[in-house]
Amino acid sequence: MSYGPNPWQQTQWDWRAAVNFMGGGAGSGLLMVTALAAVKGGAAAALLLLGIALVGLGLACVWAELGRPLRALHVFFNRRTSWMTREAIAATLLLPVAVVAAVAAWGGVDGLQWAAAALALAFIYAQSRMLQGARGIVAWREPRVVALLLATSLAEGGGLLWLTQPWHGQGSPMAAWLFGVLLLARAIVWLGYRRRLDGHAAPRALRALDGAGRVLLIGGTAAPLVLLLAATVAGSASSASLALAGLLAAAAGAYLKFSLVTRAGYNQGFALREVPVRGARPFIG
């Protein structure tokens, strides 16, 4: 059913919108985690460039989704009321600052990473508020979706950091434990978010979220934590184990966001407090 009193799935945002949240979240998370993990030199430059490439990929998909792509500049006209406008402004500042930070890191100057990380945080916050602003979609308008997307982005950023560690060669034990904390934080936020939807979201939306949630908790949290503990408690971190843990964490987060946007986006349907009955006198309060 596409219209009526029962919930129906939205069709305005498809896989291209989902890729914006997937790429933008993972890229922003990588920019923030690169600064938090104190990655330096050429490794930091490469990770910063990878982060903005993912953000750019997401934005390119949204641009391709527009019915009139040449009118995309109109998105900058409503900064006082539109979180999409704020996302676009944050992205416009983020991309050049991250490039400058990458060039500086390559030359041995690492302080600019924090400027890129701050703008990445602003970008992912605006993006998450944009999703929450869809008031008709129960799974999106839940306030905890903002914390869920922030936590997921940071966990994905940590996953990408360790996935690429065999190539860049950086990553301290402290960064490994930070990755574990981010995984646990994401799982806790997810459980709180899911609990809030009970009795409110459509059954099909809940089934889609539950499937993605199992992937997140088992494949994206429990398995990476086991690999992380096996690599660190033994005293010698295994690059292969940590890279696999990073891959699982990043993939599970991407799948959750894809499911949230494309499969759990059910409208609440009509909400009628009183149903008219033939022959009954109208109540005038």
| pLDDT (tens digit per residue) in 65-109 | 665 655 556 666 666 778 888 988 999 999 999 999 999 999 988
Please report which confidence band the pLDDT of residue 9 belongs to, taking 50, 70 and 90 as the band edges: confident
Lowest-pLDDT range of 8-22, 30-44, 215-229: 8-22
Domain annotation covers residue 65: yes
pLDDT at 232: 77
**What's the total number of domains in the chain?**
1
Domain annotation covers residue 153: yes
Residue with tokens 């983020």: 94
Length reported for the chain? 285
CB neighbours of residue 146 within 10 Å: 18
| Contact between 138 and 16 (Cβ < 8 Å) | no
User: Which residue type is seen at 227?
Assistant: L
Please report which confidence band the pLDDT of residue 1 belongs to, taking 50, 70 and 90 as the band edges: very low
Domain annotation covers residue 89: yes
Domain annotation covers residue 179: yes
Q: What is the pLDDT of residues 155-187, one digit of tens each?
A: 999 999 999 998 888 878 888 899 999 999 999
**How far is the CA of 262 from the CAs of 10, 125, 196, 259, in angstroms?**
8, 20, 20, 5
Residue 243: give the domain boundaries.
15-262
- For residue 73, with 0-12 CB atoms within 10 Å meaning exposed, 13-18 middle and 19 or more buried, which class applies? exposed
Domain annotation covers residue 257: yes
Stretch 59-70: mean pLDDT, rounded?
A: 72
Stretch 8-20: mean pLDDT, rounded?
A: 86
Stretch 119-125: mean pLDDT, rounded?
A: 96
Three-state SS at 137: strand
What percent of the chain clears pLDDT 70, i.e. is strictly above it? 86
pLDDT at 68: 62
Which among 234, 227, 232, 233 has a CA at the least distance from the CA of 249? 227
Enter the pTM of the model: 0.88
Residue with tokens 């527009």: 66
- For residue 81, with 0-12 CB atoms within 10 Å meaning exposed, 13-18 middle and 19 or more buried, which class applies? exposed
CATH, residue 101: 1.20.1630.10
Domain annotation covers residue 181: yes
- Across the chain, mean pLDDT equals 87
For 39-48, b where at least 16 C-beta lie within 10 A, e where not — what string?
Answer: beebbbbbbb
Cα Rg of the chain, angstroms: 21
pLDDT at 269: 66
Domain annotation covers residue 117: yes
Domain annotation covers residue 34: yes
In sequence order, which residues have a C-beta less than 8 Å from that of residue 89 and are 6 or more positions away? 76, 79
